[in-house]
């Protein structure tokens, strides 16, 4: 089984990266402890959901994107489909709560726990 990793996005590649399919974007910063704690959760989501892209945006380096998405607290996770926002989650989230939300938009491809 191929190992997938979380993609690091910036202002230059963001639009193209989220334009097709279902993407969960983590707005984060390296100094944010809860943001760092999301790392294993994001990796678990990649392993559980075929077809899901998981990416992250460093808000300190991509201030324009942070402003466009009205990021006021981090971590902020935004679920996008074909570039359009479906849902957002503020603060540390569990894999199970995110799986439930993702499952609403991805029927039939969630792997069993």
What is the DSSP secondary-structure string of 93-113? --HHHHHHHHHTTSTT-BPP-
Q: Would you state the pLDDT for residue 41?
A: 96
| Mean pLDDT of the 83-99 span | 95
Would you say residue 27 has pLDDT above 90?
yes
Q: Which fold does the domain 7-103 belong to in CATH?
A: Glutaredoxin (3.40.30)
Q: Which of 9, 17, 24, 35 is catalytic?
A: 35
Cα pseudo-dihedral 42, 47, 52, 56, rounded to 10: 30
Q: Which of 6, 7, 29, 32 is catalytic?
A: 32
**Nearest Cα to Cα of residue 25 among 94, 73, 81, 64:** 81
Joined together, the tokens standing for residue 106 give 């991805």
| Mean pLDDT of the 56-78 span | 97
Confidence of residue 3 (pLDDT cuts 50, 70, 90): low
**Nearest Cα to Cα of residue 104 among 26, 49, 42:** 49
The verdict on whether 91 is a catalytic residue reads no
The verdict on whether 12 is a catalytic residue reads no
């Amino acid at each position: 089984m191929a190992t997938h990793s979380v993609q690091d996005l910036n202002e230059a590649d963001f639009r193209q990266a989220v334009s097709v399919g279902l993407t969960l974007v983590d707005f984060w910063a390296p100094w944010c402890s809860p943001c760092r704690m999301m790392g294993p959760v994001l990796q678990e989501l990649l392993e559980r959901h075929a077809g899901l892209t998981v990416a992250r945006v460093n808000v300190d380096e991509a201030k324009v994107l942070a402003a466009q998405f009205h990021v006021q607290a981090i971590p902020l996770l935004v679920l996008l489909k074909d570039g359009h926002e479906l849902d957002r989650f503020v603060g540390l989230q569990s894999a199970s709560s995110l799986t439930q939300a993702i499952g609403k938009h991805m029927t039939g491809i969630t792997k069993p726990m």
